[in-house]
Amino acid sequence: MTGSSERPWLNLVGGLLLTVGGLIAARAVELPSGGLIEGTGGIPWVPLLLGLFLCGSFSWWLFVGRRQKPSLLRGALAGILCGILAYPVVLLIAELVRRPPPGIGILRRLLTALEVSAFALATTGFAAMFTMAIAGAVCALILRRVYPRRLRSVRETAGRLIWGLAAAAGVVALVLLAGFTWLTLLPLDKRGLTEPHVLAAPMNHEQALAAYQAVLAEEAKLPLNPRCASKLLTHGQREAQTIVFLHGVTNCPAQADELAPKLLGLGYNVYVPRLPGHGMADQMTDALVPITAEEYVAATEAAIEIGHGLGDEVIVVGLSAGGALTMWSAQYRADVRSTVAMAAFLGPNLVPAWANRAATNLLLILPSTMFTWNPLEPLGPPEMDYAYPRVPTRALGQFMLIGEVVADSARAVPPLAQGLGVMVNEADFAVNNALAKNIAKDWERHGREVDLKILPVSMRLLHDLIDPRQADANTELAYSLLLEMLPPRPACAGTPC
Q: Report phi then psi at 294, rounded to 5.
A: -60, -40
Separation CA 337–CA 446 (nearest Å): 18
Nearest 5°: the CA angle 303, 213, 339 is: 15
Share of the chain above pLDDT 90, in %: 52
> What is the structure's pLDDT at 389?
87
Q: How far is CA 280 from the centre of its chain?
A: 23
Q: What is the mean pLDDT of residues 141-163?
A: 60
| 34 pLDDT tier (thresholds 50, 70, 90) | low
> What is the structure's pLDDT at 370?
84
In 3-state terms, what secondary structure has residue 84? helix
Question: How many alpha carbons lie under 13 Å from residue 374 in its C-beta half-sphere?
Answer: 14
Residue 40, pLDDT > 80, answer no
> What is the structure's pLDDT at 379?
55
Residue 162, pLDDT > 70, answer no
DSSP conformation letters of 286-353:
-TTTT--HHHHHHHHHHHHHHHHHHEEEEEEEEETHHHHHHHHHHHH-TT-SEEEEES--SSBTTS-G
265 CB burial (10 A radius; 0-12, 13-18, 19+): exposed
Instruction: Return mean pLDDT, the chain.
Output: 86
* 471 contact partners, CB below 8 Å, separation of at least 6: 381
> What is the structure's pLDDT at 374?
58
Mention the CATH class of domain 207-485: alpha beta
**Range with lowest mean pLDDT among 114-123, 185-194, 236-245, 405-414:** 114-123
> What is the structure's pLDDT at 164?
59
Residue 153, pLDDT > 70, answer no
DSSP state of 485: H
Share of the chain above pLDDT 70, in %: 86
pTM above 0.85, yes or no: no
Residue 381, pLDDT > 80, answer no
Torsion from C-alpha of 453, 457, 463, 465, nearest 10 degrees: -60
| 57 pLDDT tier (thresholds 50, 70, 90) | very high
Residue 150, pLDDT > 60, answer no
Q: How far is CA 358 from the centre of its chain?
A: 13
> What is the structure's pLDDT at 165?
60
In 3D, which of 348, 433, 346, 358 has the Cα closest to residue 126? 358
Q: Which residues pair with 455 in a beta bridge?
A: 425
List, by residue range, all CATH 3.40.50.1820 domains of the chain: 207-485
| 100 pLDDT tier (thresholds 50, 70, 90) | low
> What is the structure's pLDDT at 39?
53
**Range with lowest mean pLDDT among 23-37, 142-156, 285-299:** 142-156
Residue 340, pLDDT > 50, answer yes
Separation CA 159–CA 486 (nearest Å): 68
